[in-house]
Amino acid sequence: MEPLQESIDKAESAFQEKDFNSALKYLLEALDISPENNIAHDLTMNILYLGMSSSSPCPISKGLLNDPILDPFFAECSNCQRFWAVNPFFEKAASLTVLNPVGGTCVQCNKVLCRNCIKSINGIITCPDCGKRVSPLKTPNGRTRKVNIQSSKNKPCAVLLFKSPTSPPCNEKLFSDGSRSIMS
């Protein structure tokens, strides 16, 4: 079997067993061979979304999340550089109403903002810069790693986690290495 197909097959069976870390490892191999592969792309989106949820049966290891191959799969806040996995079902949704979204994009200035950086006025989430409505993000804007580049090694890399809506502010969870994750 060709290596690409073999990696995808292994990823799919690991995914069935809810072993997201192994599945992602095989997907990284597949994406390394063929970054444009649709099957690998869709499965990676699903695994990142499910694995980074606070209710994930199998949280994804930070080492894997840090892989640069995954940069295009994340949304990143233009304000604080936290990143998160976009719900893969949003892209095909005709219309979306999301309560307490993990982040969104401003309809006016197109800035991508995380939950910590958007303002909620009378239940409507708005852009802190231009005051216009923030709508759910349908596709990732990509992770730029500004945080990692600008900072020393000790500076935390921020990861957004999410679960069903709760009242703000979000709970921030500290990993043992000092990186932060936000649970919605």
Q: Which is nearer to Zn ion, 58 or 75 (CB)?
A: 75
Least distance between Zn ion and beta carbon 5 (Å): 39
Least distance between Zn ion and beta carbon 130 (Å): 4
CA distance 60 to 17: 14
Q: Which is nearer to Zn ion, 60 or 118 (CB)?
A: 118
Q: Report the DSSP beta bridge partners of residue 53.
A: 162
Sites of contact with Zn ion (CB under 5 A): 77, 79-80, 106, 108-109, 114, 116-117, 127, 129-130
Least distance between Zn ion and beta carbon 78 (Å): 8
Provide DSSP, 97-152. Answer: --SS-SEEEETTT--EEETTTSEEETTEEE-TTT--BEEE--S------HHHHHS-
Q: Which is nearer to Zn ion, 27 or 112 (CB)?
A: 112
Q: Give the total residue count for the chain.
A: 184
